Amino acid sequence: MTTTDALAAIDEGLDHTYADVYDLMSLMTGDEKHSAAATSTLDVLWVLYDSVLDVSPGTVADADRDRFLLSKGHGPMAYYAVLAAKGFFPVAWLADWASYDSPLGHHPDRTLVPGVEISSGSLGHGLPLAVGTALGLRAQGLDSRVVVLVGDAELDEGSNHEAVELAAAVDLEALTVVVVDNRSATFGVPGRIEERFATNGWHAVGVDGRDHSLLRRALTRRRRTPGEPARPSVVVAHVEEKWS
Amino acid sequence: MTRDPRATFAATTTDLLEEDLSVALVYAEISGQYFREAERRHPERVVNVGIREQLLVNVGAGLALTGMRPVVHTFASFLVERAFEQVKLGFNHQDVGGVLVGSGASYDNAGGGRTHQAPGDVALLDTLPDWTIHVPGHADEVESALRLAVAGSGRDYVRVTGRQNREAFPVTPGRFHLVRRGAGATVVAVGPMLDPVLEAVADLDVSVLYASTVRPFDGRSLRAVLGAPDVVLVEPYLAGTSTRCVDDALVDVPHRVLALGVGRRELRRYGAPADHAAAHGLDAVGIRRAVTGFLAA
């Protein structure tokens, strides 16, 4: 399918595929498809919006929608492409992204882009905001999930650790953190992210961040096993090393 | 009996939690002694995050993202200064509302030293748009400001200090109160500066405006009352914080401004709040000396 065909198909509300997202990303990057495929967050985002999250263009203002918070706001092309592919905003917005008149910047702005839950860019804010969001939903008796995507290097920010401890202490079962781990953290240690969350009382799993069926299984809402305490969960999605 | 402003903040917040199911309180250990009962009654809406101020502010913002009305509290130094980026991004950039309540002010905790003093809180918040900044000079004004703030949907900062005036005024954001009319200069007294100002200028032919809500700044009343084009600002935080507002209000009027407030220099002294007021020239004697010097110049 050519890019133009993909745009037409999506704008007509026809079925669209994961492969279409490459074309949409190429509109922004001007690069070949293999460049889009290398984006670390692409597969996690696709699986979340394609088959996990209970949110759609028609429900972006519903109180009981699932929330997805992109904390790692850098490199949002995959995020924009997936939102456009799912109809949250017109694909025509992609071509002139980051221009003065475009609502799509190098970091997303929730006041400008339908479907974007938080404005991000500065690291270490999304997870604390997600904790507050999950607390607010719980206080209102809403059963929605809150899924927040952070990068492995973003966990360098100490603000995350304040949030990790509180979320476990107050049993925030509706909260899921997805760490996209491309080993870009300075002083990172393999395996430590899962260990750190688990030590803090979270349910923690690591998964191949490119395998859609494994991602789907890991990201689908967990139901507690008998006797298991209520606790937040983390999915560490391992992808290729950034600097390799 | 005079109420304590901080205890009044806590009692009012406790009442508001009872009255309005959309109100939530987030705090970081500080003032926990006041909130035990509220926490027991409303465990889902009263959250102590521990000594985690970055989290404190963003949890408040996250609650607001779900439509709740958060009251976010700790000492001003940790609320506004330590977690400033969270205020800027969590509230302004996300474009959500909330009520920040800082206690301790410039030197309530005189013995605590610099770490527990925040004379720069209002100036720092003033770098951001759309904050209503309350500087109540009386416990009754704390209650009024808090009730008004929580009933709204915007971004409010309530600066709670133990320093109080003898009398309370109605809290009227956007409008200063004319306390005294004179023919000469106009003195703008902010929050707990009113009593020392009134004592300092008792025999001077000046007008006195009282501001318990200092943002928005009521430039219209200042222009209306202006006799001689001389303005004295007396603020209980960093000197000069509101000078730009006076200049904006009088942009087409040649004028002079004397800006009194807390100095930039660290005192590195302990003692009592009154010692610090005197050291910064914010007691009646210091204010009088500065004002008479300014008017004679």
pLDDT (0 to 100) of residue B266: 95
Domain interval for residue A225: 40-72+123-244
Same domain, A55 and A172: yes
> Which residues between 15 and 74 in chain A have a beta carbon less than 8 angstroms from any beta carbon of chain B?
63
A142: chain B residues, CB-CB within 8 Å: 66
Count the neighbouring beta carbons within 10 Å of the beta carbon of residue A156.
16
- List all residues 6 or more positions away from A30 whose beta carbon is below 8 Å from its beta carbon: none
- What is the model's pLDDT at position A34? 65
Contacts B58 to A, Cβ<8 Å = 125, 128-129, 131-132, 159, 163
Beta-carbon separation of B63 and A136 below 8 A:
yes
Range A186-195 average pLDDT: 96
pLDDT (0 to 100) of residue A15: 67
Residue A31 has what pLDDT? 75
Nearest-by-CA chain B residue for A121 = B89
* Whether A149 contacts chain B with CB within 8 A: no
**Are residues A81 and A161 located together in one domain of the fold?**
no
Tell me whether residue A223 is in a domain: yes
- A169 and A78 inside one domain: no
Residue A6, pLDDT > 60, answer no
Span B249-267, pLDDT tens digits = 999 999 999 999 999 999 9
Number of domains in chain A: 2
Residues A88 and A161 in one domain: no
A91 is a domain residue: yes
Q: Is B89 within 8 Å of A117 when comparing Cβ atoms?
A: no
User: Residues 6 or more apart from B80 whose CB is under 8 A from it?
Assistant: B87, B100, B102, B118, B121, B124, B125, B157
User: What is the tens place of the pLDDT at every residue in A73-126?
Assistant: 888 999 999 999 999 999 999 999 999 999 999 999 999 999 999 999 999 999
Question: H helices of A13-153, where?
Answer: 18-29, 33-37, 42-47, 77-85, 126-139
Residues A84, A183, single domain; the answer is: no
For residue A129, list chain B residues with Cβ-Cβ distance below 8 A. Answer: 58-59, 61-62, 65, 90, 94
**Structure ipTM:** 0.97
Q: How many CB atoms lie within 10 A of CB A237?
A: 27
B44 touches A: beta carbon within 8 Å: yes
As to burial, measured by CB atoms within 10 angstroms (0-12 exposed, 13-18 middle, 19+ buried), residue B252 is exposed
The structure tokens listed for B140 are 């009754």
Residue of A nearest to B72 (CA): A132
Q: What integer pLDDT is reported at residue B285 of this predicted model?
A: 98
B77 CB neighbour count, 10 Å cutoff? 24
Whether A34 maps to a domain, the answer reads yes
Residue A46 has pLDDT above 70, yes or no: yes
* A199 touching chain B per CB within 8 A: no
**Is residue A219 in some structural domain?**
yes
Q: Which amino acid is at B158?
A: V
Bridge partners (DSSP) of residue A175 are A146
Q: Do A136 and B24 touch (CB under 8 A)?
A: yes
Q: Which pLDDT value is given to residue A1?
A: 46
Q: What is the pTM of this model?
A: 0.96
Residues A162 and A90 in one domain: no
A113 domain residue, yes or no: no
Residue A14 domain flag: yes
Q: How many other CB atoms sit within 10 Å of the CB of residue B255?
A: 18
What is residue A2's predicted lDDT score, i.e. its pLDDT?
52
Rounded to the nearest integer, the mean pLDDT of chain B is: 98
Do A85 and A199 share a domain, yes or no? no
State yes or no: pLDDT of A13 exceeds 60. no
Is residue A118 a part of any domain in this protein? Answer: no
- How far is Cα B57 from Cα B53, in angstroms, rounded to an integer? 6
pLDDT of residue A242: 85
> Residue B162 — very low, low, confident or very high, per pLDDT cuts 50/70/90?
very high
Residue A155 shares a structural domain with residue A84: no
Asked if residue A205 and residue A238 are part of one domain, the reply reads yes
- pLDDT score recorded for residue A16: 76
Confidence label for A244 from pLDDT (cuts 50, 70 and 90): low
Q: Per-residue pLDDT tens for B13-35?
A: 999 999 999 999 999 999 999 99
What per-residue confidence (pLDDT) applies to B1?
60
**Domain check: are A145 and A48 in the same one?**
yes
Confidence band (pLDDT; 50, 70, 90) for B219? very high
Indicate if A91 and A152 belong to the same structural domain.
Answer: no
What integer pLDDT is reported at residue A33 of this predicted model?
Answer: 67
For residue A205, give the 3-state DSSP assignment: strand
The answer to whether A166 faces chain B, any CB pair under 8 Å, is: yes
Domains in chain B, CATH or no CATH each: 5-160 (3.40.50.970), 177-296 (3.40.50.920)
Disruptive mutation site among A66, A67, A116, A118 for chain B (greatest number of B CBs within 10 Å): A118
DSSP line for A36-73? HHT-TTHHHHHHIIIII----GGGTT-TTS-EEEE---
Which CATH number characterizes residue A168's domain? 3.40.50.970
Q: Do A149 and A234 fall within a single domain? A: yes
Cis peptide before B216 (omega within 30 of 0): yes
Tokens 């919006």 found at:
A49
**Which pair of tokens denotes residue A92?**
């025509």
Gap between the terminal Cα atoms of chain A: 31
C-alpha span between A61 and B166 (Å, rounded) = 48
Average the pLDDT over A53-61 and give the result: 97
Q: What is the pLDDT of residue B197?
A: 99
Q: Which residues contact B112 (CB under 8 A, 6 or more apart)?
A: none
Confidence of residue B224 (pLDDT cuts 50, 70, 90): very high
Q: Is residue A238 domain-resident?
A: yes
Q: How far apart are CA B98 and CA B133, in angstroms?
A: 12
The pLDDT of residue A38 is 74
